[in-house]
A = this chain, B = another copy of it.
Amino acid sequence: MKTPAADIDPGILERFESFIKEKGLRRTGQRDVIVAAAFSTDSHFTAEDLWEMARKIDPSTSRATLYRTLSLLTESGLLQEIDLGRDQKYYDPNFVEHPNHNHLICLDCGTVIEFSDENMAVIEDCVTRRLGFSSVRKDIRIEARCEEFRTSGHCKRGKK
Contact = CB atoms under 8 A, between A and B. Distances in A.
Contacts of A137: 142-143
Interface in A69-119: 81, 83, 85, 104, 106-107, 113, 115, 117, 119
A132 B146 contact: yes
A156 B28 CA distance: 45
A3 to B, nearest CB: 33
Task: Classify chain A: how many residues form its interface, as a range.
Answer: 20 to 34
A142 B123 CA distance: 12
Contacts of A148: 132
Contact of A128 (B127, B134, B144): B144
Contacts of A145: 133-134, 136
A147 B135 contact: no
Contact of A115 (B117, B131, B150): B131
B123 A136 contact: no
Contacts of A81: 85
A140 B141 CA distance: 6
B150 A143 contact: no
